[in-house]
Amino acid sequence: MSKKKSKVVNLGCRLNFFESEIIKNIHEKKNIENQIVINTCAVTNQAVRKSIYEVRKASKEYPDYKIIVTGCASQIDKDAFQGLENVFRVVDNKEKTQPEVYMGQKINNHDIFKIPFSENFTSIRTRAMLQIQQGCDHRCTFCIIPFGRGSSKSLPFDEISKRVRKILDDGYHEIILTGVDLTSYGKDLPGRPRLGNVLKRLFKIQPELKRLRLSSIDPAEIDDDLFELLVNENRILPHLHLSLQSGDNLILKRMKRRHTREEVIRICNEIKSSRPEFTFGADVIVGFPTEKEEQFYNTVQLIRICDFSNIHIFPYSSKKGTPASRMPQVNEKIKRERVEILRKQSKEILFKQLNSKIGKSVTILFESNKKSYTDNYYKVKIMKSKQNKIEKSGSVIDVKLVSRRGDLLLAQFKE
């Protein structure tokens, strides 16, 4: 039987995507063939069903491949996946970015942060993603993910600095720091350094780092140093994605979140007052148990007050074993209606913001003529013209925004 190229199927969050790219790199560098790796997600029941579907689909389409399953869904319920047809192995989350897993060798190191950086690094086209934190110590009442990812673990500062230096030397102009609960960084390290302090040191030691983004952060864990950087440090690009979940204080309390709507409003207002170009995104759960119409509209109102334009909306999905699964549930039809209301409002906010940018010149990290992003995370498409320049992917360039098409800003290269 001839060897065939391996395939990686990714499901779920940005961190899963980051890890899936590492797994792809491993297969390419080690010339591993005849494998399909399915990186599962457990954030909702639908995500688990999708994960099982992808395993069954792979079994039918690639019957002569070894199917390897990993990720949060298989971590939480290994038996559900191990029993599926043609599954060769279910791999622990903490082992899935280790080459030995896919080469049939003994695993000597179970710590993701002690894997050689050449094996634990990836990029999204032109910007590099660097994971500096793993796991979560919090127990939100709706969330099953800590059981799939384990306790919070942080990459020491010296290693962060070394990896950032390698990324910059490789020619990347922009880095995204990512983690399961990024703002809990450092609580497991000597001296318990906070994220803000780490970033200040990083900017000082690596002055060539000019463009830094943060993945989703918890509003309750924005310490003074981090807040000062968000307000004053232009090397942190002006877009922040908050793990909001709700805009109603009682629902936030029942979720076991640690911030209030007032704190979120203060954070957004104070950042915008110093850096008006800042934009905000958020994760929001709609239809959390006991959520009444008034409480839902508190979320709608908060989205409007803070001008959130990039919202990831999740209809609440009951997860067995979580406290929220035992609370009074919201009708599915009501959930769907509320999701549509929030999606409509999010789109209105985004389109209004995009329209206000038409005619202005902005900086982008050029990815392709089809899609790039402004510094404040608006999608941009370069319009075709006779004067189109040939730009290298990964270049930081200035463009003029000339019109809008849906959620895309159309731009021309500046002369």
Do 47 and 141 belong together in one domain? no
Greatest Cα-to-Cα distance within the chain, rounded to the nearest angstrom? 64
Same domain, 292 and 196: yes
Q: Is residue 141 part of a domain?
A: yes
- State residue 272's pLDDT score: 96
Q: How confident is the model at residue 126 (pLDDT cuts 50, 70, 90)?
A: confident
Mean pLDDT of 85-103: 90
* One domain, residues 248 and 383: no
Same domain, 371 and 243: no
What are the start-end ranges of the H helices in 241-361?
A: 249-255, 261-274, 293-306, 332-357
Looking at residue 1, what is its pLDDT?
40
> What's the residue count for the chain?
415
Question: For residue 156, is pLDDT > 60?
Answer: yes
Residue 169 sits in the same domain as residue 240:
yes
Lowest mean pLDDT across 122-126, 312-316, 388-392: 122-126
From 281-285, 292-296, 385-389, the region with the lowest mean pLDDT: 385-389
Position 266 scores a pLDDT of 97
pLDDT at 350 over 70: yes
Residue 179 and residue 61 share a domain: no
Tally of domains within the chain: 3
All residues at 6 or more sequence positions from 346 whose CB lies less than 8 Å from its CB, including other chains = 303, 308, 309, 310, 311, 313
Q: Mean pLDDT check: name the lowest of 49-63, 133-147, 301-315, 343-357.
A: 133-147
Same structural domain, 189 and 228: yes
Average pLDDT, the chain: 91
pLDDT grade for 108, boundaries at 50, 70 and 90: low
- Residue 394 confidence class, pLDDT cut points 50, 70, 90: confident
What CATH code is carried by the domain that includes residue 103?
A: 3.40.50.12160
**324 to 147, 236, 252, 293: CA distances (angstroms):** 15, 36, 12, 18
Collect all residues with Cβ–Cβ distance below 8 Å to 128 and sequence separation of at least 6.
121, 122, 167, 170, 172, 174, 175, 176
Q: Which domain holds residue 53?
A: 7-108
The answer to whether position 156 is within a domain reads yes
| CATH number for the domain harbouring residue 158 | 3.80.30.20
For the cut 50, the answer to whether the pLDDT of residue 119 exceeds it is no
Instruction: Say if CB 22 and CB 178 are below 8 A apart.
Output: no
Threshold 0.75, pTM exceeds: yes
